[in-house]
Amino acid sequence: MIIYCAGPIKGDTKYQKYYKEFIEYLSSIGHTALSELNEEFRTSVPLTAKQIFKRDIKWIESSKLLIAEASGHSLGVGFEISYALYKKDIPVLALINEKASNESSMIVGCDSKKITVKNYSDSDDLKKIVTDFVKKNG
């Protein structure tokens, strides 16, 4: 299954380790994890902001699900979640580390039936949540 993976690249990257972990995990169990941080899709030439926008929108539009590391603030992640929910109507999993203290009220308080917000404690917990979400929505 094709899954768009969102996470802060330029915003708050404190929990980026977990973002990379679920990208690698999804790939290891046979899914296509679309992300700039997935080595499989990394370009050798830097992209312009416009090229990144077009690529990421194309990736979201080709995905069945969106999974986001949403523990820290990131305008890009918020935009991608909103686009997936309200433009493409695809299920979204927003993952928030239980130690995070600055999670977005716009994500946590979102009442769309297509969004699932889950707190995770560690890598094993993260993998279980991701697995359950993919099985339920796959």
The fraction of the chain above a pLDDT of 90, given in percent, is 78
Q: Where are the beta strands (DSSP E) in the chain?
A: 2-6, 32-34, 65-69, 92-97, 115-120
Q: Check whether 75 has a pLDDT greater than 70.
A: yes
Structural domains of the chain, with CATH: 2-137 (3.40.50.450)
pLDDT of residue 43: 67
Estimate the share of the chain in helix, then strand, then coil, as percent rounded to the nearest 5: 45, 20, 40
pLDDT of residue 133: 98
Chain segment 26-73, per-residue pLDDT in tens: 999 999 999 887 666 666 688 899 999 999 999 999 999 999 999 988
Give, in order, the Cα–Cα distances in Å from 10 to each of 7, 73, 77, 131.
9, 10, 10, 27
Q: Which two tokens stand for residue 94?
A: 């927003």
**What is the average pLDDT score of the chain?**
92
pLDDT of residue 44: 65
Chain segment 84-138, per-residue pLDDT in tens: 999 999 999 999 999 998 889 999 999 999 999 999 999 999 999 999 999 999 8
Instruction: Indicate whether this model's pTM tops 0.95.
Output: no
The span from the CA of 83 to the CA of 62, in Å, is 13
The span from the CA of 92 to the CA of 114, in Å, is 6
pLDDT of residue 32: 95
pLDDT of residue 38: 65
Q: Are 6 and 76 in contact (CB under 8 A)?
A: yes
One-letter amino acid at 127 equals K
